[in-house]
Amino acid sequence: MDRKTIVLVVLLVVVLIFYFPIMEFLGLYKPAPPEPQESQPPADTTTQVVRPESVPTEAPPTAAIGADTAVVEAPVEEEFVRPDTIVVETNKYLVTLTTAGGGPVSMKLKEYDYRNDVKIEMMPEAVVATPELSFAGGQFTTSTVNFTCDRDPRAYDATRDQLDITYAYQPAAGGKIVRHFRFYPDEYHYELFVEVIGPGELGFDRQYYLVWNTPLGVTEPQPKIDYDAMQAVAMQAGSRESLDDFDDGKLDQSLTGNTTWAGIRSKYFAAVMIPTNRHAESVFAQGEKRSIDTRDGEVEQRLITVGMEMPFTAMTTSFADSFTVFVGPLDYLLMADYNVGLEDMLDIGTAPFVGWIIKPFAIAIIWLLPKMYDVIPNYGLVIILFALLVKLITMPLSMKSFKSMNAMKELQPKIEELKKRHKNNPQAMNQEMMKLYKQHGVNPLSGCLPILPQMPLLFAMFSVFRSTILLRDAPFVWFIADLSHGATGLTDPYIIMVVIMIVAQFVSQKFTMASTQQNKALLYIMPLFMGFIFYSLSAGLILYWTCFSVFSLIDYFAFKRRKNSEVKTAK
């Protein structure tokens, strides 16, 4: 390492150590005041749903989200409980059901919180049952009527055995709507059985809609990233379809076709409706996006609802359908167990053309990291060990690359001579160069060999860390309390990890890259470019790339040692 490089590294280390005092002195950073003992959940924007009196029959019905949508703080624990309320506790969630619409109005996940022991609410600000049933082109919805329940209003324990609850609506004019719920002790889903008796007497014909009518709320400390991930998703004919075609801030999109499931997702959580006795015939999504102010500045809020069309014969005396309703984390392996392609909600390996390459790497990562975590209960250390494992596996390719680069370095004078000799005849120059490479057994492309398996692996890790809940709230060391977190700006403490990554990549390239005129430019440009690309990504991904850069030095010194040994033997 030359003197200039040493000086640069020392300066970067000094800046790293005294980063916050320097930023505070320049007025670009103010230390955060100590948080109170009882902190509220992270800033969020939930909705007060405004329902239209009627919905045009040609448009799929759902809860309208209008200008009266209220922006409030994140969900808080409510003291008030309605007298007609039933509370069911399983090992996965606390669900509150009411006779207003006949179903759940609250689902709190017991294993996930807003980073302050307040459980995540999957139905923020819901005032009527979700999901709802809509008939007669939206002129009748279950949200507008009261049901009767077969159980008394109180708390029920479903942590050991399944629990069944039935709600019924039976007007005096005839007909009956039954909503039957079955909850399981250890599942992130419940079963919904819908039965309509005498649809003609109720004025129903042709089809009805099952609608998830409550938008998801923000659960993460960075609202922008959470809102950016929010979308309606459906599985149609084996293909993942996103319904995110906003026009002038409004979403009103439908897709016709055999629909296996439909739902909405945020960064780490989802609510999905899965028909089990037959498929739906179409899916639709409605919502809006608009700019709102948060403590992190202005972000684009997304409020989305989704529904499915379920047809029935107009002259039938009754019909019944069943649904599995998943409400929980975006856990790939958990969702894969449903065997309906539900894991595609995560959008891992679904990209056109290259998805089939990335997906095997992603699945391997999702399977292996938790196994390693069972042995080493710190995902930061797991990522470091994983980076070392990848480096050891790719070491033979790296050795071949170093050997090729070293041979290219030795041939550089002869290559320069050929360039001068055939400067006016590029074709002859290329022919002579290829002959020179063949004569000395050099493959000019072998220097890229270690990159080939790394690229799909890197893209796979990006997809995994972006979508899966694996690293959510996973601490490492020091200030790194959440490996899913990314830097929000120069004053964010997580920017330190980006600086470390840039330094590590620079030092690694300084040792390992061949000393050519082109590489001198890359030596300085590439680390800065990667820092710019990575700075807002998850700390877990940055940690992986940093460690991989450092471990690249192992290959280099192993190659140098082997080369020196071969030179001594030759003497």
Percent of the chain with pLDDT over 90: 40
What's at 375, amino acid-wise? V
- Res. 76: pLDDT tops 50: no
Mean pLDDT of the chain, nearest integer: 79
Which pLDDT does position 82 carry in this prediction? 57
- Res. 157: pLDDT tops 70: yes
Bridge-based pairing of strands 132-135 and 140-141 is: antiparallel
Measured in Å, how far apart are the chain's first and last C-alpha atoms? 27
Percent of the chain with pLDDT over 70: 75
Which pLDDT does position 70 carry in this prediction? 33
Give the least confident one: 171-180, 283-292, 330-339, 347-356.
347-356
The pLDDT tens digits of the residues spanning 465-512 come to 777 788 888 899 888 888 888 887 777 788 888 888 888 888 877 776
- DSSP for 105-143, please give it: EEEEEEEEESSSSPEEESSTT--S-SSEEEEGGGTEEGG
The pLDDT tens digits of the residues spanning 552-569 come to 777 777 766 665 555 444
Give the least confident one: 143-152, 153-162, 463-472, 494-503.
463-472
The pLDDT tens digits of the residues spanning 326-339 come to 999 999 999 999 99
d(Cα 23, Cα 355) in Å, to the nearest integer? 42
pLDDT band at 78 (very low <50, low <70, confident <90, very high): very low
Cα 184 to Cα 154, 165, 216, 325, 507: the distances in Å are 18, 12, 23, 12, 54
The pLDDT tens digits of the residues spanning 506-548 come to 887 777 665 555 556 677 788 888 888 877 788 888 898 888 8
Tokens in use for 478?
Answer: 């020091």
Which pLDDT does position 69 carry in this prediction? 33
pLDDT band at 436 (very low <50, low <70, confident <90, very high): confident
**Residue whose structure tokens are 């710190």:** 378
Domains of the chain from N-terminus onward: 86-344 (2.70.98.90), 373-570 (no CATH)
262 vs 296, residue with greater confidence: 262
401 vs 543, residue with greater confidence: 543
The pLDDT tens digits of the residues spanning 182-196 come to 999 999 999 999 999
- Res. 129: pLDDT tops 70: yes
**Residue whose structure tokens are 């994140």:** 74
pTM for the model: 0.77
- Res. 66: pLDDT tops 60: no
